[in-house]
Amino acid sequence: MKKRLFALALAGVLAAVTLTGCGSLKGDETVATVDDTKIDADLANFFARYTQATYETYYSAYLGEDMWNSDASDGETYEESVKSSVLKSLEDMILLEKHMEDYDVSITDEDKAMIKETTQQFLNDNSLDDKNLVSGNEKTVNRALTLMAVQQKMRTAIQAGADTEVSDEEAAQKSMDYVFISYQTKDDSGNSKDVSDDEKAQLKSQAEAIASGLKEGGDLNTLAEEQGATVQTLTFDKDTTSPEEDLIKAADALGEGESTDVIETEKGCYVAKVTSLLDRTATDSKKSQIVQERRTKLYDDTLKKWRKKADIKVHKDVWKKVSFQKVSVKMKTETQTPYADQVQTDDQAQTK
């Protein structure tokens, strides 16, 4: 499993292309420091290029050719946003590495062997030119994989301290059966459109017939079938918002076996019957979700605490040299021989 995780972290063959003249990036330049630990340009560039490759391979069709100049959020372009996220992740990895002893975490000989193997696979799979553009030298790839292993192990160790006890009361999920009679239909072109007011009145009367039948002890499935409606099942709690907040609010106030009146919305009418105040399967699933949320929060809060105490400095003039607009990087989606005749491997380059 560990080997698979390492392999997935650096899966794929890269194709890097210089688009315009770019400023010279020296691998040993300092992009940032975390206390006394330096993040050099090679390491930052490597992480940035791999993230860039993911975006350009899988999202460029949606974001367009000028994706890196596109607005992301908070007044940032996608390039600024992604680079900021990459650098923060690197800083967090360094902080995790600094606290390994606190959690009795170490990189074992087995880990080191896997890192070495994956590093060599990356070096073999990618051409010399591509590796140079992404700072994919042996030292940098090995360091990147080591930090990723540290992050994985530290996340597990930190999250192990989360409280895993969750009561039924805290996680309780109710269940209901409900019908929805829509005020919308399809036109000849397949587009949705509202029905007429007269049709709405007729549809509402159908919902009222179901609601009335339920109050009299009728079976929802039978009542729904008579009105051409379909019964759906939903597990919920007071924080559920879909399919309709008014439906959830009404059902949440009922006891087991009780049913709602007609709940009319702009889109149609709902009628529901509460079938359980504690759905065992849904409640146990909610418990797992709560535990995972606690683990995630503990991990995030721990890093925030460390970041607050750390002396983190960014050398913006160096980081600026890593430009997604001057170098394009994608994952090669088809199996190709990484070293064409005109491309030198590391060994070929060293023998000249």
Q: Collapse the DSSP code of 153 into the 3-class scheme (helix H, G, I; strand E, B; otherwise coil) and give the result.
A: helix
Q: How confident is the model at residue 338 (pLDDT cuts 50, 70, 90)?
A: very low
Report the alpha-carbon distance of residue 148 to residue 90 in Å, rounded: 9
Which pLDDT score is estimated for 340? Answer: 36
Query: What CATH class has 174-277?
Result: alpha beta
Instruction: Examine the pLDDT at 348 and tell me if it is beyond 80.
Output: no
The segment(s) of the chain belonging to CATH 1.10.4030 are 2-163+292-350
Phi, psi of 47 (to 5 degrees): -65, -40
Query: If we measure between CA atoms, which residue out of 207, 248, 201 comes closest to residue 224?
Result: 207
Q: Contact 229/211 with Cβ under 8 angstroms?
A: no
Pairing, β 30-34 against β 312-314: antiparallel
Tens of pLDDT along 26-41? 999 999 999 999 999 9
Phi, psi of 264 (to 5 degrees): -95, 135
Provide mean pLDDT across the span 110-118: 92
Q: Contact 138/123 with Cβ under 8 angstroms?
A: yes
Q: Contact 333/58 with Cβ under 8 angstroms?
A: no
Which pLDDT score is estimated for 25? Answer: 86
Report the alpha-carbon distance of residue 38 to residue 160 in Å, rounded: 29
Q: How confident is the model at residue 336 (pLDDT cuts 50, 70, 90)?
A: very low
Which pLDDT score is estimated for 186? Answer: 85
At a CB cut-off of 8 Å and minimum separation 6, what does 14 contact?
A: 49, 50, 53, 126, 130, 131, 134, 136, 329, 330, 331, 332
The three-point CA angle 307-309-315 to 5° equals 60
Query: What CATH class has 2-163+292-350?
Result: mainly alpha
Q: How many residues does the chain have?
A: 352
The segment(s) of the chain belonging to CATH 3.10.50.40 are 174-277
Q: Contact 141/116 with Cβ under 8 angstroms?
A: no
Give the least confident one: 17-21, 90-94, 197-201, 296-300. 17-21
Residue 180 Cα to chain centre, angstroms: 32
Instruction: Examine the pLDDT at 188 and tell me if it is beyond 90.
Output: no
Instruction: Examine the pLDDT at 342 and tell me if it is beyond 50.
Output: no
At a CB cut-off of 8 Å and minimum separation 6, what does 214 contact?
A: 220, 223, 259, 271, 273
**pTM (global) more than 0.75:** yes
Which pLDDT score is estimated for 333? Answer: 59
Tens of pLDDT along 230-267? 999 999 999 999 999 999 999 999 999 999 999 999 99
Give burial (CB, 10 Å; 0-12/13-18/19+) of 47. Answer: buried
Q: Contact 338/13 with Cβ under 8 angstroms?
A: yes
Pairing, β 71-73 against β 76-77: antiparallel
Which pLDDT score is estimated for 15? Answer: 66
More confident residue, 175 or 58: 175
Secondary structure letter of residue 183 according to DSSP: S
Q: Collapse the DSSP code of 160 into the 3-class scheme (helix H, G, I; strand E, B; otherwise coil) and give the result.
A: coil
Which pLDDT score is estimated for 19? Answer: 52
Residues forming beta bridges with residue 181, ordered by sequence position = 269
Average pLDDT score, the chain: 89
Tokens 């074992």, residue located: 108
Tokens matching residue 229: 């409606």
